[in-house]
């Protein structure tokens, strides 16, 4: 990374303030070229920015952060400009004209922070989630990950594995190589305790539910009132409603936050066994597929006919045709609003239990896979009597921990992760 990058790191202009970041070995030269001198490190200085011909670009606050103790691990400068489009364009143009400078690509500042050891992979993933957080639950979980909650735990586990590995190596070097009798008396207990801690993390609610939202699918026969309830829950006329069977032909989804909890509601085609309408048949197939992906199904059909675990809901209780269902968890009218508040409160409470507690770090699919490998390797030590095989199990656990925080990873995976970031991050 011998080149120096720059990008607008604040929101798109116009705005009151625009922040341009510069990172790399020529950041100081760039700052000196525009501001006339490099200011005192880590102190805001008021400077006139101009190009070599003397043309004034702006009057701005500038900050200088000499590496390696910076966000990216490199020399870093920030220009706090007036946030007009023309000002930002002029300063970016001046930077682009300087030798050795180029515009950053999405996520490049954070990728340099990772490459230079300022953050690890788990923290980078937490930062990506923080930038995309839309609810308070998402924000607090992302803050925990970006702040290193998981990384610190993994470092502790890794050191304990290294300590255990040292005990095994001592046996291999100085003990009887036929068994593990010379290992410390509490060796297996310590490994079991470590595996249990990893298992506890694996049993936590996953990050995907928090990031994507608790998925609630509305299902039932045609004309059961699914679309009307869907519109009431998302507080929008998103679905077409009509007193005709088969109005809904596809799965319609809408992401909303209720009580600070992210949800994805899905309205589906009415379920019935036979239809001559090819389009409706496709909609029914898609509805059944949506049921398989649901975290929860609201069943608006006959009692006992919904999928396992579904909440039975009596709809349209404001109409004479409403059929009482003693087993229904809720009875509602999406038209008058009767019962809707109780349904929403129940959904919020259920979703909260399915998601990480506020402030808890949550594992994504990649992290979960690595921790699963580590747990399996640790559990395997209990069944081995050959110290060489015990050492191999501990090595596999250490490799899994290293992969989780990015000590061993691939360029393709890094490209996918840092591509989630904006250009100036």
Query: Per residue in 255-287, pLDDT tens?
Result: 999 988 899 999 988 776 666 666 766 777 788
CB 23 within 8 A of CB 66: no
Quick one: how far is CA 360 from the chain centroid? 13
Same domain, 248 and 311: yes
Q: Measured in whole angstroms, how far is the alpha carbon of residue 275 from the centre of its chain?
A: 41
Q: Which of 294, 328, 354 delimits the end of a domain?
A: 354
Q: Answer yes or no: do 185 and 134 share one domain.
A: yes
Task: Domain count for the chain, please give it.
Answer: 3
Average of per-residue pLDDT across 32-55: 92
Q: Are residues 349 and 283 part of one domain?
A: yes
Domain assignment of residue 424, yes or no: no
Domain shared by 267 and 216, yes or no: yes
Last residue of a domain, one of 84, 119, 154: 119
* The pLDDT of residue 300 is above 70: yes
Write the CATH number for 250.
3.40.50.300
Q: What residue numbers does the annotated binding site for (6S)-5-formyl-5,6,7,8-tetrahydrofolate cover?
A: 21, 78, 118, 425
d(CA 194, CA 400): 14
Annotated binding-site ranges:
21, 78, 118, 223-228, 242-248, 267-270, 425
Over residues 122-155, the pLDDT tens digits come to 999 999 888 888 888 888 898 999 999 999 999 9
The CATH number linked to 396 is 1.20.120.430
Assess whether 141 and 241 both reside in one domain: no
Cα angle 414, 106, 34 (rounded to 5 degrees) comes to: 130
Q: Name the domain boundary from 119, 153, 173.
A: 119
**Confidence check: pLDDT of 243 > 60:** no
Give a yes or no: residue 420 inside a domain: no
Question: Is the separation of the CB atoms in 348 and 367 below 8 Å?
Answer: no
Percent of the chain at pLDDT exceeding 70: 88
Whether residue 330 is found in the same domain as residue 371? no
Residue list, annotated binding site for GTP: 223-228, 242-248, 267-270
For residues 214 and 293, membership in a common domain is answered with yes
Q: What's 18's domain CATH number?
A: 3.30.1360.120
pLDDT for 334: 87
Residues 28 and 114 in one domain: yes
Residue 374 lies in a domain: yes
pLDDT category at 209 given cuts 50, 70, 90 is: confident
What is the domain range of residue 193? 127-204+363-406
Q: In this structure, are 213 and 199 located in the same domain? A: no
Annotated binding residues for Mg(2+): 227, 248
Does a structural domain hold residue 421?
Answer: no
Q: Is 325 within a domain?
A: yes
Q: In the block, which residue shows the tokens 């341009």?
A: 20
Q: Mean pLDDT score of the chain, rounded to an integer? A: 87
State the Cα–Cα distance between residues 147 and 125, nearest whole angstrom: 11
Domain assignment present for residue 412? The answer is no
Main-chain dihedrals φ then ψ at residue 236, nearest 5 degrees: -160, 150
Domain-located, residue 416: no
Predicted confidence (pLDDT) per residue in 303-334, tens digit = 888 899 999 999 988 888 777 888 899 999 98
**Are 307 and 326 part of one and the same domain?**
yes
Q: How far is CA 247 from CA 244, 277, 294, 318, 357, in A?
A: 6, 12, 22, 21, 39
Residue 156 has pLDDT above 70, yes or no: yes
287, HSE (Cβ side, Cα atoms, 13 Å): 28
Strand ranges, E, within 182-293: 214-219, 252-258, 261-267
Closest C-alpha among 77, 80, 70 to residue 19: 80
Place of tokens 């070995």: 25
**Residue 215: inside a domain, yes or no?**
yes
- Give the C-alpha separation, 374 to 384, whole Å: 16
Residue 121 CA to residue 112 CA, distance in Å, equals: 12
What is the H or E stretch that residue 190 is in? helix 187-202
Q: Are residues 89 and 164 in the same domain?
A: no
Q: How far apart are CA 349 and CA 180, in angstroms?
A: 50
Q: Which helix (H) or strand (E) holds 108?
A: helix 108-115
300-303, Cβ contacts within 8 angstroms, sequence gap of 24 or more: 300/218, 300/219, 300/220, 300/221, 300/224, 300/225, 300/226, 300/229, 301/219, 301/220, 301/221, 301/224, 301/271, 302/221, 303/327, 303/328
Residues 224 and 290 in one domain: yes
Beta carbons within 8 Å of 241's beta carbon, 6+ residues apart: 227, 228, 231, 247
């Amino acid at each position: 990374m011998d080149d120096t990058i720059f990008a607008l790191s604040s929101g798109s202009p116009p705005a009151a303030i625009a922040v341009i970041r510069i990172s790399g070995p020529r950041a100081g030269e760039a700052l000196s070229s525009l501001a006339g001198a490099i200011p005192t490190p880590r102190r805001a200085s008021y400077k006139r920015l101009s190009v070599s011909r003397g043309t004034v670009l702006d009057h701005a606050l500038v900050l200088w952060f000499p590496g390696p103790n910076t966000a990216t691990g490199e020399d870093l400068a920030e220009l706090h400009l007036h946030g007009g489009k023309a000002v930002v364009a002029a300063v970016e143009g001046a930077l682009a004209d300087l030798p050795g400078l180029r515009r950053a690509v999405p996520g490049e500042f954070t990728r340099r922070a990772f490459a230079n050891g300022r953050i690890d992979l788990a923290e980078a993933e937490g930062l990506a989630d923080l930038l995309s957080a839309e609810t308070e639950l998402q924000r607090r979980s992302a803050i925990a990950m970006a702040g290193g909650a998981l990384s610190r735990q993994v470092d502790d586990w890794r050191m304990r594995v290294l300590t255990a590995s040292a005990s095994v190596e001592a046996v291999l070097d100085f003990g009887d190589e036929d068994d593990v009798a010379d290992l410390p008396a509490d060796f297996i207990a310590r490994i079991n305790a470590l595996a249990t801690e990893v298992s506890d993390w694996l049993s936590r609610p996953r990050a995907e539910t928090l990031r994507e939202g608790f998925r609630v699918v509305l299902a039932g026969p045609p004309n059961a009132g699914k679309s009307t309830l869907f519109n009431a829950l998302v507080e929008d006329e998103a679905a077409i409603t009509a007193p005709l069977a088969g109005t809904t032909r596809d799965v319609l989804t809408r992401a909303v936050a209720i009580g600070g909890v992210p949800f994805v509601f899905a309205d589906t085609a009415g379920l019935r066994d036979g239809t001559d309408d090819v389009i409706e048949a496709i909609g029914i197939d898609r509805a059944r597929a949506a049921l398989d992906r649901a975290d929860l199904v609201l069943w608006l059909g006959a009692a006992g006919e919904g999928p396992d675990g579904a909440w039975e809901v009596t709809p349209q209780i404001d109409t004479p045709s409403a059929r009482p269902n003693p087993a229904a968890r809720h009875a509602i009218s999406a038209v008058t609003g009767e019962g809707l508040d109780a349904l929403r409160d129940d959904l919020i409470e259920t979703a909260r239990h399915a998601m990480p507690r506020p402030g808890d770090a949550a594992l994504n699919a990649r992290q979960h896979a690595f921790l699963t490998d580590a747990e399996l390797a640790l559990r395997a030590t209990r069944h081995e009597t050959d110290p060489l095989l015990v050492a191999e199990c501990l090595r596999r656990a250490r490799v899994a921990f290293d992969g989780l925080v990015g000590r061993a990873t691939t360029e393709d995976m890094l490209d996918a992760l840092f591509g989630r970031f904006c250009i100036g991050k």
